[in-house]
Structure 1
Amino acid sequence: MLVDVHHHAIPPVYRDALRGIDPIPGVDYPTWEPDRSLEVMDRNGITAALLSITAPGVSFAGPADAPKLARQVNEYFAELVSTHPTRFGAFAVLPLPDVAAAKDELSYAVDQLGLDGVNVLTSYGGEYLGAPEFEPLFAEIADRGIVVHVHPAAPPARDLATFGLPPSLYEFTFETTRTAVSLLFSGVLDRLPDLRLILSHAGGTLPFLAKRLTYGPTIGSYLRGKPPVDVLASLGRLHYDIAMSATPHALPALTELAGADHVLFGSDYPFMPDWHTAENVDGFAGHPGWTDEQRSRVASGNALDLFPALRARIVT
């Protein structure tokens, strides 16, 4: 059994809302249909996929319309999961940066629609997820045991997208790192130890930088006595998908940081094409650093533990 926790959808209402804007600079925004996802899943042995939209989220619609667009996307997801309960789950989109509206949609999406978790971007309005205004939302999410999938977006400062390259090629990994560092050094991860986050793309550059981040108080004495209490332990509590990352370069470092029990399979379809799904499955299946038991945990066991409603639908 293989569960894909990083599988994107582009609902018709969302596709229509995106017309006339450049969603992710330099990125070819793909077409998508549920049947096409199912074909790719079947061809690659993927039992179920947790769907999410990606950047730019819904904030581009403006404060008045973003909550309505989020509601429409989430209702579409609920209908699709109802039609294919053993194949699809879904992460709800929240109309951030409006925290009050996000809390309302969180309750509706989880309690009424029964979606499996929520998906957030790495920053909103130039603020990363460790900013104080987001903590009340994350506190409620942590109290309720809801899983959050964190997906990168284009950097708030567009001049960071240098060299004429699409930001998803390399900046997305840094955006994931930036938001994780903001959560660490703001103390959010210490104050909310039960917050269950899945970071995309093997955590960006975190496996490489994890030990370096412990040197904060050495480099700047003003950081002494401030959070995080234990950088490596905090990062080790997080969960990581391996979309675009099932490679011999990334998997050993990620496993060293988080252990195989905090790693989940992801494909990044359809923003990465179906041939890459096959490539990522092969990279996952062939990684020599896991035992058979660990590989089974990464394939589905970790995801099914995080998403008991999905487990109930697909495990008979």
Structure 2
Amino acid sequence: MKIDVHGHLSAPESLYAYKANLLAHRGAHGRGSAGVTDDTLRAALTEPNRTFGNQSHLRHLDEAGVDIQLISPRPYQMMHSEQAKLVEWFAEETNDAIARTCRIEPGRFRGIAGMPQSMETTPERWTKELRRCVTDLGFVGAMLNPDPYEGAAQPPALSDRFWYPVWEAVCELDVPVLIHSAGCRPPARESYSLHFIQEETLAVAAMLSSSVLDDFPTLKIIVSHGGGAIPYQRGRFQPGALRAGITFEERMRKLYYDTCLYTRDSIELLLRAVGTDRCLFGTEKPGTGSTRDPRTGRWVDDIHLLIEDIDWLDDGQRKQLFETNARELFRI
């Protein structure tokens, strides 16, 4: 079995038209509704999408042999740096669309909650929506953006007590957190894809140099995109760790990492750095990587094939990556 812990909602156009209207009227017309229906959600899953290589969401999963996918909001769409009530309305509509998708395909999808992370409000307020998603809608995890300003200002590092209400909530609810940055507000030096990697790098560095994991011993953190740049640069941090009487690899193993990396050598480096028991199969399929590589004919995000190509993995390690680790963390 393959459980993909890093998937995102494929939504009908009405959800994003709703977002555009919110941004246009700035709340003057009230909350309104995205008008998402079961029929439009089903079409978003089954109809070919030009953005995803002219193939449907479900066909991508079927061809990759993905049995269960954990889906969260499309991060770059979450507009956390906008007006608070707009952020809240859109997050709630998006989470409702995820919940309906899970009801339409109950054997295929599980929900990961997006929180309305406006810096005009507080983390305590963000967790209200998280609690609704987990207790009322049956979601199995949370997605956290470490930069709600979306590049427009500097937020507190994840080591700061500012974030403690989130850690308290997820520990109480007993759900893992997927660290995944959101958009990058212009003007900016980087694209949102590069912003993801930068913020996830900072997230790992902050968590491993703080007391957060000691203060919250049941906290389960998964870092998207293989932990950003940290696995490649771990030697840079090794001397400081050794002076403290620990290896940096041991520190890295306090977190979990997904395999959403699009080359075999990158995935191998991650697995060698932290071990297969700290990694979970994640593809972000369909998404950025859903284009065919003309050299191989494969989809770039065919991460299952990249893992299968790693000849030093044994059957038990592959089972950990594809299934066991996700089952244990998300209680699936």
Normalised to the residue count of structure 1, the TM-score between the two structures is 0.80
Shift of 1:143: 3.7
Distance 1:203 1:158 in 2: 26
For the residue of structure 1 that corresponds to 2:142, the secondary structure is strand
Q: List, as ranges, runs of 4+ consecutive aligned residues in structure 1 with deviation greater than 4 Å.
A: 154-159, 228-231
Residues 1:141 and 2:152 are matched in the alignment:
no
The match for 2:315 is 292
The match for 1:264 is 280
Distance 2:188 2:251 in 1: 31
Residues 1:129 and 2:146 are matched in the alignment:
no
Shift of 1:216: 4.2
Confirm or deny: 8 A CA contact 2:145 2:180 kept in the other structure: yes
- Give the residue type in structure 1 aligned to 2:197: T
For the residue of structure 2 that corresponds to 1:198, the secondary structure is strand
Shift of 1:9: 1.4
The match for 2:11 is 11
Distance 2:269 2:64 in 1: 25
Structure 1 residue corresponding to 2:44, chosen from 33, 38, 50: 33
Deviations 1:210-229 (A, max 9, x none): 342243489xxxxx98xx98
- Give the residue type in structure 2 aligned to 1:267: T
Shift of 1:236: 0.4
Structure 1 residue corresponding to 2:142, chosen from 104, 112, 118: 118
Shift of 1:205: 1.2
Confirm or deny: 8 A CA contact 1:184 1:190 kept in the other structure: no
Distance 1:155 1:184 in 2: 25
Shift of 1:137: 1.4
Percent identical: 23
Shift of 1:122: 2.8
Q: Note the residue ranges of structure 2 that are not aligned, 5 or more in a row.
A: 24-42, 47-55, 293-298
What number of residue pairs does the alignment pair up? 287
- Give the residue type in structure 2 aligned to 1:138: W
Deviations 1:77-105 (A, max 9, x none): 11211121110111011111431221211
Distance 1:18 1:130 in 2: 32
Distance 1:287 1:265 in 2: 14
For the residue of structure 2 that corresponds to 1:55, the secondary structure is helix
Between 248-257 and 33-42, the greater mean CA deviation after superposition? 248-257
The match for 2:36 is none
Question: How is 1:127-206 mapped onto 2 (pairs within 5 angstroms)?
Answer: 127=155, 128-154=157-183, 159-161=188-190, 166-168=191-193, 170-206=194-230
The match for 1:80 is 101
Confirm or deny: 8 A CA contact 1:151 1:199 kept in the other structure: yes
Question: How is 1:175-254 mapped onto 2 (pairs within 5 angstroms)?
Answer: 175-216=199-240, 231-245=248-262, 247-254=263-270
For the residue of structure 2 that corresponds to 1:243, the secondary structure is coil
Deviations 1:283-308 (A, max 9, x none): 01111231111011111111111222
- Give the residue type in structure 1 aligned to 2:271: T
Distance 2:209 2:186 in 1: 21
Shift of 1:260: 0.5
Distance 2:199 2:164 in 1: 19
The match for 2:53 is none
Question: In 2 relative to 1, CA 232–71 (structure 1 residues): closer, same or farther, beyond 3 Å?
Answer: same
Q: Note the residue ranges of structure 1 that are not aligned, 5 or more in a row.
A: 22-31, 219-223, 312-316
Shift of 1:167: 4.2
Distance 1:62 1:100 in 2: 17
Between 194-203 and 274-283, the greater mean CA deviation after superposition? 274-283
Shift of 1:270: 2.2
For the residue of structure 2 that corresponds to 1:237, the secondary structure is coil
Distance 1:217 1:60 in 2: 35
The match for 1:55 is 76
Between 55-64 and 281-290, the greater mean CA deviation after superposition? 55-64
Deviations 1:155-207 (A, max 9, x none): 6795442xxxx341x44322211122122234323322321111111111111
